[in-house]
Amino acid sequence: MSMVEQTARVAAPAALALFAVLGAVMGNRPVMVGLGVAGAVAALAGILAWERTTGWPLAAALALTTAGLVVLGHAESSNLVWMGLCVAAAWVALTSELLVTVTAGVVLGTTVVSEWIQQTEEAGWAAWLVGTAFTVVACTFARGLRMTVEQLREAQHQLAEQSRAEERNRVAAEVHDVVGHALTVSLLHISSARLALDDEPEEASRALVEAERLTRDSLDEVRASVGLMRTDTPGELAPLPGATAIPDLVESFRRAGSTVELTVVGELGAVGPARGLAAYRIVQEALTNATRHAPGEPVTVQISVAERETRVAVRNDGAVDPSPAAGSGLRGMRDRAAGVGGRLSAGALEGAARRGWLVEAVLPS
């Protein structure tokens, strides 16, 4: 509850109680009767001040309060009573739904008109009634505006939460792709170094140096990906890879001992940053999966850059699991393609006897 609502919830009932007491003191009726009715109105005002009094209970309490005010002002013109009625009507309009407001307005209006219509010599009640009606309409609009603002704030909060969730998922995908590639290729280098350690120490040293370089580069990529989420990161962040970095990516797998053939049609530099990053990560994940699931098998990578779209195809001839599970890698590649408005398919080659796997992506320009 806002500060304005808290203040209104206390101020409106307090005003009703004050008007009731003043009406009892200033009215032309027995003191005990006046004070008794004023006490009842004050008690109802206390109920109105309770935070949980809303809706129909609020309307009922206001109706009883109004009845008490009418009794206090019976047979005499009382501006204090009218002020109390105006406050009561405004309060129900500010805090209740439209149906409750209309129903309470009809009941209260009928009660007031039937009482004051008897005072034919007093015409002031008509002006008060019109003024109260305008007050109710204004308060109803004010409540509608307040509800609209609250809905907009809630929608803004939900959008912020959704944006944070999408950003976390994006960074998680970046880290998954980078770390998965780094560990896979580094493992190949370390395995080569272990095998060559006794007979070819220079080759073993070269493999370890390459594994170290790859690990450092991957660590920089992870830092760059995580740094995109922070506003307090000092200095400039390393740029994320794009389509022009795909040849270097393929070469890193070759240096690790994988047989990878790359064919490029068109200019990789013509691919935009977002689609270039998607193409790079798709090739990276596809090569990583091929190295894991079909080690030693040749892999072909084909990139075709056209005016309207960029096509990526990664194929290997390794054995295919008859019921492969949809892991986070495949899901991540599909999300990469969908994130730039493209599509991706992955599966066993048609007609292949449990051998061969093809990943194809179409990324619109």
Boundaries of every domain in the chain: 3-122, 239-365
Q: Which of 274, 270, 362, 278 is nearest to 312 (CA)?
A: 362
Collapsed DSSP state (helix, strand, coil) of residue 73: coil
Residue recorded with tokens 């796997």: 357
| CA torsion through residues 23, 25, 28, 33, sign | positive
In order, the DSSP letters of 294-353 are STT--EEEEEEE-SSEEEEEEEEEEE--SS----HHHHHHHHHHHHTT-EEEEEEPTT-S
242 and 276 Cβ atoms separated by less than 8 Å: yes
| Residue 189, token pair as written in the block | 């280098």
Can you give the three-state secondary structure of 206-251, one letter per residue?
Answer: HHHHHHHHHHHHHHHHHHHHHHCCCCCCCCCCCCCCCHHHHHHHHH
Q: What is the pLDDT of residue 110?
A: 66
Rg (CA), the chain: 38
Closest CA to 171 of 238, 109, 111, 224: 224
pLDDT at 33: 46
Structure tokens at 337: 């393609």
- Predicted pLDDT at 32: 45
* DSSP codes of every residue in 78-134: -HHHHHHHHHHHHHHHHHS-HHHHHHHHHHHHHHHHHHHTT-TT--HHHHHHHHHHH
pLDDT at 261: 92
Q: Cα(298)–Cα(316) distance, rounded to whole angstroms?
A: 6
Going from the first residue of the chain to its last (365 residues), give the mean pLDDT of each consecutive group of 10, the final group possibly shorter. 55 57 53 50 56 56 58 53 68 69 67 59 63 75 79 84 74 68 66 68 73 69 60 56 90 83 92 91 87 84 92 84 58 87 87 74 91
Six token digits for residue 332:
């991540």
Residue 258: half-sphere exposure toward Cβ, Cα within 13 Å: 31
Predicted TM-score (pTM) above 0.75: no
Task: List the end-to-end C-alpha distance of the chain, in Å, as a whole number.
Answer: 49
Query: Which tokens in the block code for residue 192?
Result: 């080569």
- Beta pairing partners, 361: 312, 344
Class of domain 239-365: alpha beta
